[in-house]
Amino acid sequence: MSERISDAEHAVMEVLWERSPLTAQEVVERVPAERGWSANTVKTLLGRLLAKNIIAHEEEGRRYRYRPLVARADYVVGESRRLMERLFGGRLTPLVAHLAERDAITDQDIAEIEALLKELKQ
């Protein structure tokens, strides 16, 4: 995915990744209430995502049903890579070290990382 999405667009994508296709009104109803967005705000965000070719829509009578063109897992991979490239020169070790130095890694995280590394070595 070459186009970046904003935090607001990401909230709409989370709704569509959870369930789709959805109408604009169904997206409005599923966006977290604490956002306080109007239907027009959600429709604007859907329009932006359409323009970026991140979602598609199909006509259903007088309304459209929206669906993602980008899988959530693919989006996460791309964003993770961009973060590591931008902040840590594309390397994982400095990222983990940064989190560990700031007590952002729990004992459970360490155990899970160790298990993952052991699995990867095999």
Shared domain check, 41 and 92: no
- Asked if residues 75 and 83 have their Cβ atoms less than 8 Å apart, the reply is no
Residues 90 and 105 in one domain: yes
60 and 26: one domain? yes
Global pTM value: 0.81
Q: Specify whether 117 is located in the same domain as 85.
A: yes
Of the candidates 67, 54, 58, the residue with the CA atom closest to the CA atom of residue 27:
67
**Residue 61 maps to a domain:** yes
Per-residue pLDDT of the chain (122 residues; tens, 9 = 90+): 667 899 999 999 999 999 999 999 999 999 999 999 999 999 999 999 999 999 999 999 999 999 999 999 999 999 999 999 999 999 989 988 898 888 788 889 989 999 999 999 98
In which domain, by residue range, is 91 found? 72-121
Asked if residue 60 and residue 18 are part of one domain, the reply reads: yes
Instruction: Examine the domain organization and report whether 94 and 116 are in the same domain.
Output: yes
Asked, for residue 76, whether it belongs to a domain, the answer is yes
Length of the chain: 122
- Same domain assignment for residues 83 and 60: no
Where on the phi/psi map is residue 56: left (φ > 0), alpha (ψ -120 to 50), or beta? beta
> Domain tally for the chain?
2
